[in-house]
Amino acid sequence: MDLYITSLLLGALGLVFMALSGLGHGGHAGASRAHAHAPGHVHTHARGRANHAGGSSVTRALWSVTSPRFVFSFLLGLGAAGELLRPVTGGVLQLAGAIAGAVLFERILVAPLWNFSMRFASAPAQTLESAVSDEATAVTGFDANGNGIVSLEMDGQMIQILATLQPGDRSLGVRVRAGQKVRIEDVDAGTNRCTVSVL
């Protein structure tokens, strides 16, 4: 098999496999969430925000070029365009035309169709464990043993869970009042409880 037939088969098989297994959109949410909660990640001036935005654009561009979907659709387009051009040209001209056809195929046909299909893919549900390092609000004042109720947003809804002030804060005699902001340090999803620290 030559370059174009091989590319055509690899690209078609790769896209079919991705469509069936849903591998085309995994990983982004987790990365975005981890980045959002990284400690100390605060932009204090316009230049910092601009650099961050520029870095994000470069990262997105690199991801789109190296993503499996791009690679497989490019291979499919390369093979198809190369085979279509075979009767009229060959060599370097055929290769150049096949590359141009592959880029157009990915940008004009595959990318819009893929993005449209991803609109119907449901976002993974957040779990209580994903709330670690998030801020929460004390619904009640904590008692002398450091127990109370806090609320936090999860999947667009406000939920309330039992909370215990971490031992270090309790030993200092810290009291948490209703409405006070706290940070979730640990969670026990089995008992629907969490450990918090004062901010």
Nearest Cα residue to 36 out of 177, 165, 115, 153: 153
In degrees and rounded to multiples of 5, residue 70 shows phi and psi of -65, -45
- Distance, C-alpha 61 to centroid of its chain: 15
Alpha-carbon gap, residue 96 to 105, rounded angstroms: 14
Would you say residue 104 lies in a domain?
yes
Regarding whether 148 and 66 lie in a shared domain, the answer is: no
Would you say residue 153 lies in a domain?
yes
Contact 194, 161 (CB under 8 A): yes
Contact 171, 140 (CB under 8 A): no
More confident residue, 130 or 27: 130
Token pair in block for residue 184: 């979730």
pLDDT in the model for residue 151: 92
Regarding whether 104 and 146 lie in a shared domain, the answer is: no
Would you say residue 123 lies in a domain?
no
What does the angle CA 171 – CA 131 – CA 176 come to, to the nearest 5 degrees?
A: 30
Regarding whether 32 and 99 lie in a shared domain, the answer is: yes
Residue-wise pLDDT tens digits, 78-126: 989 989 999 998 899 999 999 999 989 888 888 888 777 766 655 556 6
Could you tell me the residue range of the domain that residue 38 belongs to? 3-118
Would you say residue 91 lies in a domain?
yes
Average confidence (pLDDT) over 40-59: 44
Regarding whether 60 and 148 lie in a shared domain, the answer is: no
Position 19, amino acid: A
Regarding whether 7 and 104 lie in a shared domain, the answer is: yes
Structural domain count of the chain: 2
Q: Any idea which residue has 């910092």 for tokens?
A: 48
Residue-wise pLDDT tens digits, 153-192: 887 788 899 999 999 898 888 899 999 999 999 988 888 8
CATH number at residue 174: 2.40.50.140
Regarding whether 114 and 133 lie in a shared domain, the answer is: no
Regarding whether 166 and 90 lie in a shared domain, the answer is: no
